[in-house]
Amino acid sequence: MKRAAFYVRVSTVDQHPETQLRELREYAQRRGLSVAQEREYVDHGFGGAKARRPALDRMLEDARRRHFDVLLVWSCDRLARSTRHFLQVIDELDSCDVQFVSLREAFDTSGALGRAFLGIVAVLGEMERALLIERVRSGMARARAEGRRIGRARLDVNREQVIHDRRSGMSLTQVAKKHGISRAFVCRLMKEASANPDVLVPPLAGSVPEQANAAGAAQ
């Protein structure tokens, strides 16, 4: 019985690798492949453009040690997004006599035709990623041209004024709109102010405390 291993990758921490693992386990069972639990390599929250990933590095090291005979992935783009990195991994697996199988594309490297198709799929995956990046850049350029803010909140925000406005009874939306910042940034400033009660927010010109102090000094 051939020994199999799974490699699974999800790009964000809120995605669930179990979706891919379930299909891989079902495939291995149908093909009569044995998979030990320690041979399920999962990179959680790693983009495909990163060549170095903890589980990927561990999987390749185990491949060199001949710990498994077949590597199963849910899709080719789970392994790598760039053609160069993808082919490097495939070449290394081949040098270790490890067969590569991708479920979604129904490809394996047991023959020359499989290797040829995998190279084509890798090229298309890299092209798709390049097009996605170009679309994002175009969207950002359009947003800038329309005067919309992109990225983090401005650093020149008058934090004391923001806190004062919120404490005076203005809603989150009103404060955010007045200062050109997000509601989340307003909440963050308020939490910081509450967490540091020793740091007093100085009264603003014309505020009630300042007027009271001025009246007392006049007396």
Q: What is the mean pLDDT of each run of 10 residues along the chain (219 residues)?
A: 93 85 93 89 81 90 95 90 79 88 84 73 75 86 73 71 91 89 87 71 46 44
State pTM to two decimals. Answer: 0.53
Homologous superfamily of the 4-129 domain (CATH): Resolvase, N-terminal catalytic domain (3.40.50.1390)
Q: Within the chain, which residue ranges are assigned CATH 3.40.50.1390?
A: 4-129
Residue 181 backbone phi and psi in degrees, to 5? -130, 175
The pLDDT assigned to 215 comes to 44
Amino acid at site 79: L
Amino acid at site 9: R
Q: What are the C-alpha distances in Å from 202 to residues 45, 89, 156, 160?
A: 43, 60, 17, 7
The pLDDT assigned to 57 comes to 93
DSSP, res 155? T
The pLDDT assigned to 108 comes to 80
**Three-state DSSP class for residue 6:** strand
How many helical (H) and strand (E) elements, i.e. helices and strands, does the chain have? 9, 5
Q: Within the chain, which residue ranges are assigned CATH 1.10.10?
A: 152-203
CATH class as words, domain 152-203? mainly alpha
Q: What are 170's two structure tokens? A: 């203005």
Nearest-angstrom CA–CA distance, 179 and 185: 11
Nearest-angstrom CA–CA distance, 17 and 180: 39
Q: Report the half-sphere exposure of 75 (CA within 13 A, side-chain side).
A: 13
What is the chain's alpha carbon radius of gyration, rounded to the nearest angstrom?
28
Paired strand residues for 86 = none
Query: Which of 3, 22, 107 lies closest to 62 in space, CA to CA?
Result: 3
Q: Supply the residues annotated as catalytic.
A: 11
The pLDDT assigned to 60 comes to 95
Nearest-angstrom CA–CA distance, 192 and 199: 10
The pLDDT assigned to 85 comes to 82
Q: Are 107 and 101 in contact (CB under 8 A)?
A: yes
Q: What are 163's two structure tokens? A: 């806190």
